[in-house]
Protein backbone atom coordinates (compact mmCIF):
# COMPACT_ATOMS: atom_id res chain seq x y z
CA UNK A 1 0.00 0.00 0.00
CA UNK A 2 1.38 3.38 -0.92
CA UNK A 3 1.16 6.25 1.55
CA UNK A 4 -1.54 8.92 1.32
CA UNK A 5 -0.82 11.79 -1.03
CA UNK A 6 -1.22 15.52 -0.39
CA UNK A 7 -4.38 15.27 -2.55
CA UNK A 8 -5.68 12.57 -0.21
CA UNK A 9 -5.22 14.84 2.80
CA UNK A 10 -6.86 17.74 0.96
CA UNK A 11 -9.96 15.76 -0.02
CA UNK A 12 -10.23 14.10 3.39
CA UNK A 13 -10.38 17.60 4.89
CA UNK A 14 -13.15 18.51 2.47
CA UNK A 15 -15.16 15.38 3.16
CA UNK A 16 -14.83 15.87 6.94
CA UNK A 17 -16.20 19.40 6.57
CA UNK A 18 -19.10 18.01 4.57
CA UNK A 19 -19.75 15.42 7.31
CA UNK A 20 -20.01 18.22 9.85
CA UNK A 21 -22.46 20.01 7.55
CA UNK A 22 -24.50 16.81 7.31
CA UNK A 23 -24.79 16.75 11.09
CA UNK A 24 -25.72 20.44 11.22
CA UNK A 25 -28.51 19.76 8.71
CA UNK A 26 -29.94 17.04 10.97
CA UNK A 27 -28.51 13.98 9.27
CA UNK A 28 -26.01 11.40 10.44
CA UNK A 29 -22.48 12.90 10.33
CA UNK A 30 -21.19 11.14 7.22
CA UNK A 31 -20.10 12.42 3.82
CA UNK A 32 -18.37 11.15 0.71
CA UNK A 33 -17.06 12.39 -2.60
CA UNK A 34 -15.76 10.86 -5.80
CA UNK A 35 -12.72 12.58 -7.28
CA UNK A 36 -11.20 11.98 -10.71
CA UNK A 37 -7.51 11.22 -11.18
CA UNK A 38 -7.14 14.82 -12.36
CA UNK A 39 -8.41 16.06 -8.98
CA UNK A 40 -11.91 17.09 -10.12
CA UNK A 41 -14.73 16.46 -7.65
CA UNK A 42 -17.23 14.61 -9.84
CA UNK A 43 -19.75 13.81 -7.09
CA UNK A 44 -20.26 14.58 -3.44
CA UNK A 45 -23.01 13.67 -1.02
CA UNK A 46 -24.03 13.59 2.60
CA UNK A 47 -25.89 10.92 4.50
CA UNK A 48 -29.67 10.90 3.98
CA UNK A 49 -30.60 7.63 5.67
CA UNK A 50 -33.36 9.13 7.82
CA UNK A 51 -35.86 8.43 5.01
CA UNK A 52 -33.97 5.76 3.05
CA UNK A 53 -31.78 3.47 5.15
CA UNK A 54 -29.65 2.71 2.07
CA UNK A 55 -28.93 6.40 1.39
CA UNK A 56 -25.49 6.36 2.97
CA UNK A 57 -23.21 9.17 1.82
CA UNK A 58 -20.98 6.80 -0.14
CA UNK A 59 -23.91 5.23 -2.01
CA UNK A 60 -25.33 8.67 -2.81
CA UNK A 61 -22.00 9.92 -4.18
CA UNK A 62 -21.40 6.70 -6.13
CA UNK A 63 -24.87 6.87 -7.70
CA UNK A 64 -24.22 10.44 -8.85
CA UNK A 65 -20.81 9.53 -10.26
CA UNK A 66 -22.17 6.42 -11.99
CA UNK A 67 -24.84 8.46 -13.74
CA UNK A 68 -22.14 10.55 -15.43
CA UNK A 69 -19.23 8.15 -15.87
CA UNK A 70 -18.77 4.53 -16.93
CA UNK A 71 -17.06 1.92 -14.76
CA UNK A 72 -14.01 2.21 -17.04
CA UNK A 73 -13.91 5.98 -16.51
CA UNK A 74 -14.24 5.56 -12.74
CA UNK A 75 -11.36 3.08 -12.56
CA UNK A 76 -8.93 5.94 -11.93
CA UNK A 77 -11.25 7.77 -9.52
CA UNK A 78 -11.09 7.80 -5.73
CA UNK A 79 -13.96 7.54 -3.28
CA UNK A 80 -13.20 9.71 -0.25
CA UNK A 81 -15.31 8.95 2.81
CA UNK A 82 -15.52 10.42 6.28
CA UNK A 83 -15.77 6.88 7.66
CA UNK A 84 -14.82 3.43 6.43
CA UNK A 85 -17.41 2.25 3.93
CA UNK A 86 -19.77 -0.35 5.39
CA UNK A 87 -20.29 -3.64 3.55
CA UNK A 88 -23.11 -2.11 1.46
CA UNK A 89 -21.05 0.93 0.48
CA UNK A 90 -17.95 -1.16 -0.20
CA UNK A 91 -20.09 -3.24 -2.56
CA UNK A 92 -21.30 -0.03 -4.19
CA UNK A 93 -17.71 1.14 -4.65
CA UNK A 94 -16.81 -2.21 -6.19
CA UNK A 95 -19.74 -2.25 -8.62
CA UNK A 96 -19.27 1.40 -9.61
CA UNK A 97 -15.75 0.67 -10.79
CA UNK A 98 -13.94 3.10 -8.48
CA UNK A 99 -10.27 2.16 -8.22
CA UNK A 100 -9.35 3.69 -4.85
CA UNK A 101 -11.00 4.28 -1.50
CA UNK A 102 -9.62 6.67 1.11
CA UNK A 103 -11.43 6.94 4.43
CA UNK A 104 -10.91 8.88 7.64
CA UNK A 105 -12.56 6.98 10.51
CA UNK A 106 -12.27 3.19 10.81
CA UNK A 107 -15.31 1.00 11.35
CA UNK A 108 -13.86 -0.08 14.70
CA UNK A 109 -13.47 3.53 15.86
CA UNK A 110 -16.98 4.34 14.64
CA UNK A 111 -18.38 1.45 16.67
CA UNK A 112 -16.60 2.79 19.76
CA UNK A 113 -18.38 6.11 19.19
CA UNK A 114 -21.84 4.75 18.35
CA UNK A 115 -21.98 1.87 20.81
CA UNK A 116 -25.31 0.09 20.48
CA UNK A 117 -27.19 3.09 19.10
CA UNK A 118 -29.98 1.60 16.94
CA UNK A 119 -29.38 4.35 14.36
CA UNK A 120 -26.06 2.73 13.43
CA UNK A 121 -26.26 -1.07 13.68
CA UNK A 122 -22.65 -1.55 12.68
CA UNK A 123 -21.58 -4.40 10.42
CA UNK A 124 -18.16 -5.38 11.68
CA UNK A 125 -16.76 -6.14 8.24
CA UNK A 126 -13.80 -4.04 7.09
CA UNK A 127 -14.04 -2.78 3.51
CA UNK A 128 -10.71 -4.42 2.71
CA UNK A 129 -12.30 -7.81 3.38
CA UNK A 130 -15.20 -7.02 1.06
CA UNK A 131 -12.83 -5.89 -1.69
CA UNK A 132 -10.61 -8.96 -1.21
CA UNK A 133 -13.54 -11.12 -2.40
CA UNK A 134 -13.84 -9.28 -5.71
CA UNK A 135 -12.24 -9.97 -9.05
CA UNK A 136 -10.51 -6.63 -9.30
CA UNK A 137 -8.25 -4.83 -6.89
CA UNK A 138 -9.30 -1.64 -5.13
CA UNK A 139 -6.59 0.32 -3.37
CA UNK A 140 -7.58 1.28 0.18
CA UNK A 141 -5.98 3.97 2.32
CA UNK A 142 -7.25 4.47 5.83
CA UNK A 143 -7.88 5.21 8.50
CA UNK A 144 -6.53 8.69 7.86
CA UNK A 145 -6.82 11.50 10.43
CA UNK A 146 -9.16 9.68 12.80
CA UNK A 147 -8.90 12.26 15.58
CA UNK A 148 -10.20 14.93 13.23
CA UNK A 149 -12.89 12.56 11.91
CA UNK A 150 -14.26 11.89 15.40
CA UNK A 151 -15.22 15.54 15.93
CA UNK A 152 -18.43 15.39 13.86
CA UNK A 153 -19.58 12.37 15.89
CA UNK A 154 -18.91 13.70 19.39
CA UNK A 155 -22.15 13.78 21.37
CA UNK A 156 -24.23 12.66 18.38
CA UNK A 157 -24.80 8.98 19.17
CA UNK A 158 -26.73 7.45 22.07
CA UNK A 159 -24.78 4.64 23.71
**pTM here?**
0.95
Residue 34, strand partner residues: 43, 79
pLDDT value, residue 159? 60
Element (H, E) at 112: helix 107-114
Closest C-alpha to 56, from 111, 101, 93: 93
* Whole-angstrom distance, CA of residue 91 vs CA of residue 82: 17
Q: Which residues are catalytic?
A: 58
Please write the tens of the pLDDT for every residue from 84-112: 999 999 999 999 999 999 999 999 999 88
* C-alpha dihedral sign at 42, 100, 54, 91: positive
Amino acid sequence: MRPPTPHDHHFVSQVLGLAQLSREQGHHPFAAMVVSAAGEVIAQAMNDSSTDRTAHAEMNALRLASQRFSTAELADATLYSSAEPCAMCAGGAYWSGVGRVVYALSEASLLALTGNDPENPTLSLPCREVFARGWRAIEVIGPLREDEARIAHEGFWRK
